[in-house]
Amino acid sequence: MKWLDDIAWTADGLVPVIAQEASSGDVLMFAWMNREALALTAAKGEAVYWSRSRARLWHKGEESGHVQKVLDIRIDCDEDVILLKIEQLGHTPGIACHTGRHACFYRTLRNGVWETTEPVLKDPKSIYAA
């Protein structure tokens, strides 16, 4: 797959990925992909990431059911960042964050303090098995 060779991978073989909700334009999360994850994402039409903490492929929603249906895959002008335009499945409104929120970017800097500005839509304890 020649298109994978066009990407400016990091020294450890990864590329940063932004997941953006196509319908709202909300940036839901940031993650990493290796070649295999990106190839699987393109083939499946669902987001598959490389989990640095787990050191393995991670199909988004494999535990939570909050799958990301990929509508479009884009690359930036420097060929070193991937943008996924997605539909967040599994809950309405969509939950992308493991904290049970719509997006991972739920804290805003206000007066020198990170303030939580987005609500928990579903208790993470009810999403993930113990």
- The stretches in the chain having pLDDT less than 50 are 130
> Does the residue 68 lie in any domain?
yes
> Does the residue 130 lie in any domain?
no
Q: How far apart are CA 84 and CA 24, in angstroms?
A: 13
Buried b or exposed e, range 34-59, using 16+ CB within 10 angstroms: bbebbebbeeeebbbbbeeeeeeebb
> Does the residue 7 lie in any domain?
yes
> Does the residue 128 lie in any domain?
no
Q: How far apart are CA 32 and CA 90, in angstroms?
A: 22
Q: Domain count for the chain, please give it.
A: 1
Q: 85: domain range?
A: 2-122
- The enclosing domain of 92 has a CATH number of 3.10.20.810
> Does the residue 129 lie in any domain?
no
Q: Using one digit for the tens of pLDDT, what is the confidence trace for 52-76?
A: 999 999 999 888 888 999 999 999 9
Q: How far apart are CA 59 and CA 46, in angstroms?
A: 8
Structure confidence at residue 129 (pLDDT): 63
